A and B are shown apart, each in its own frame.
Chain A
Amino acid sequence: MSVLVVVECDNGEVKKSSLEVASYGSQVAQMLGTSATAIAVGEATEANLAKLGEQGISKVLYDAEPRLKDFVNGAYTKLIATAAQQEDSKVIVLANSNIGAAVGSRLSVRLQASLATNVVELPKVNNGQFLVKRGAFSGKAFADVTLQGDRKIIAVKKNSIEALHEAGKTAQVVAFSAQLTDADFADAPKQVVMQDQAGGILLPEADKVVSGGRGMKGPENWYLIEDLAKALGAATACSKPVSDVDWRPHHEHVGQTGITVSPNLYIACGISGAIQHLAGVNSSKVIVVINKDPEAPFFKAADYGIVGDVFDVLPKLTQAVKELG
């Protein structure tokens, strides 16, 4: 028996959120007195998979089937279920991502496991009973949830767990095959379209986010947001009204019905802070609000604030970041 960790890879690299998942899984394995095995999905290199040893993983299973490079719900579910059966895994840990949610929910039925998503802390384990803390009410509350039964699946929210880095430790990479057939790829994508990412930083994976609202007055002023984001190495985002009027694409919309982000730093520029927007950002570690209206509700949720005109403040911030070097 081991803990099975699902590791998502992209362009040969292990995603940051999956390093957190691997660290979570290896710590759970330690609690249970067992080891952590990873099953890698997506496009990975053997060298990068071996480095998962730094996150406490002892063995990585990898199926080099080329059709697994893109996400395919049916095939991924079978691959992971097969690995879980081979490893006799009682606990499966994956990312609370679009892939993790799509696969985890199917796996929970196939493996008769209890499932908790959006998990923000390591579990409390007592006599085989798991108690996990998960986000609920769109970030406005937490729920401690008991997971019943013999098997458990845990989907870990991004940026809630510190990734381990034990330098020099390597994992053994083992070829693995789930004997996938054409039928398993029936729901394979016809086409995959990747967005142009500002500065190459993916919003859901970003450590730092600079976000603009209607206070930016128009899409032509977005260079102010992009300049600061570039200087900080941050991703850019926006509020719902901004994506509704097409100043920015939908995939940048952060909020209740958009993307939920939990970066270390969220800088809101000209966003008043409607409760629906806060729902998408309130698990950020540090929130900075820049708004000329001192009564903007966002200041109540902020750690740092500047009451001032974004057109005046943003260039100053960008300059100050550049001076930091």
Chain B
Amino acid sequence: MKFLVCISNVPDTTTKITFTPDNKEFNKAGVQFVINPWDEYALTRAIELKEAQGSGTVTVLNVGEADTEPNIRKALAIGADDAIRVNAHPKDAYFVAQQIASVAKEGGYDVILMGKESIDYNGFQVHGMVGEMLGIPTVAPAMKLDMNGNTATLEREIEGGKEIVEVNTPFVASCQQPMCEPRIPNMRGIMTARTKPLKVIEPVGEGARTEVAEYALPPKKQGVKLIPAESAGDLIKLLRNEAKVI
């Protein structure tokens, strides 16, 4: 079975967010980038399923410029077999989805996995766009994924519960916990990753449909108002009379 896992290159979760002087781009200076944490579930689960089947391949796909390659190599070190990088700035979800759909179509992948959303753009859009472009089902967000032959059983999170869904390959799923315990690379993985194939291709399609005009930081908090623990009950009065939330 051929797995395609799409990963984003995102600022580390502890990053202090700042922007370029024109507020149009995220300021990358001095920032550590990581594999999008949601995508790690997709990657690890694909590797686990491939191992359980005893055959097949896991291909990692990233839409990004050359500076994303360290994290692509990391995904290879975790256990993916090969990688494709679409050499372009990921302009918006629609642009990225077109790249993924094109690669998926050409490569004939059976299972296309990605994280629920990226922690930088928080779009939660790419899964459905890819599914619609390819005319195949999408399951989003998926908390569990098991394969039996060509049939997948997934748990899809809905507000207040879950749906058990069965789909046949090919399909798209966007993954979240508790799907699996994301793996970290070991030394052997890091060594072998260096020589695994990483193909760079040029983007296709029509470009983006949305554009960021400006980023802004949320307004600063006023500062915390402390209430002594002895008179904790006063907090409730403040919440009613001052904050007016109860």
Contacts and interface: CB of A to CB of B under 8 A. Distances in A.
Interface in A122-152: 131, 134-149
Contacts, number: 261
B109 interface: no
Nearest to A132: B210
Given A71-B158, A114-B209, A304-B243, A109 B229 contact: no
A65 to B, nearest CB: 18
Contacts of B239: 265, 286, 288, 304
Contacts of B236: 317, 320-321, 324
Contact of B233 (A148, A204, A232, A319): A319
Given A98-B157, A316-B233, A256 B125 contact: no
B129 A306 contact: no
B135 to A, nearest CB: 10
Given A136-B215, A257-B37, A70 B235 contact: no
A265 to B, nearest CB: 4
A211 interface: no
A197 interface: yes
Contacts of B210: 114-116, 145-148
A131 B235 contact: no
A74 B235 contact: no
A169 to B, nearest CB: 27
A79 interface: no
B163 A189 contact: yes
A179 interface: no
B192 to A, nearest CB: 28
Interface string B166-194: 11000000001110000000000000000
Contact of B224 (A96, A188, A205, A289): A289
Given A106-B128, A117-B122, A147-B210, A306 B227 contact: yes
Interface stretch (A21-29, A50-58, A294-302): A294-302
Contacts of B224: 289, 299-300, 302-305
Interface residues of B, number: 77
A103 B125 CA distance: 9
Interface residues of A, number: 97
Interface stretch (A33-41, A86-94, A216-224, A275-283): A275-283
Contacts of A191: 163-164
A174 interface: no
Given A189-B165, A257-B37, 20 more contacts: A118-B123, A136-B120, A137-B17, A137-B120, A138-B119, A140-B217, A142-B216, A144-B212, A146-B210, A146-B213, A192-B158, A202-B159, A265-B245, A275-B13, A303-B224, A304-B224, A304-B226, A304-B239, A312-B229, A313-B229
27 contacts: A71-B163, A98-B158, A102-B128, A102-B140, A104-B125, A105-B93, A105-B124, A106-B128, A106-B131, A109-B128, A114-B210, A115-B94, A131-B213, A134-B122, A136-B122, A139-B218, A141-B215, A144-B216, A148-B209, A148-B211, A187-B137, A192-B162, A232-B246, A256-B13, A306-B227, A312-B229, A316-B232
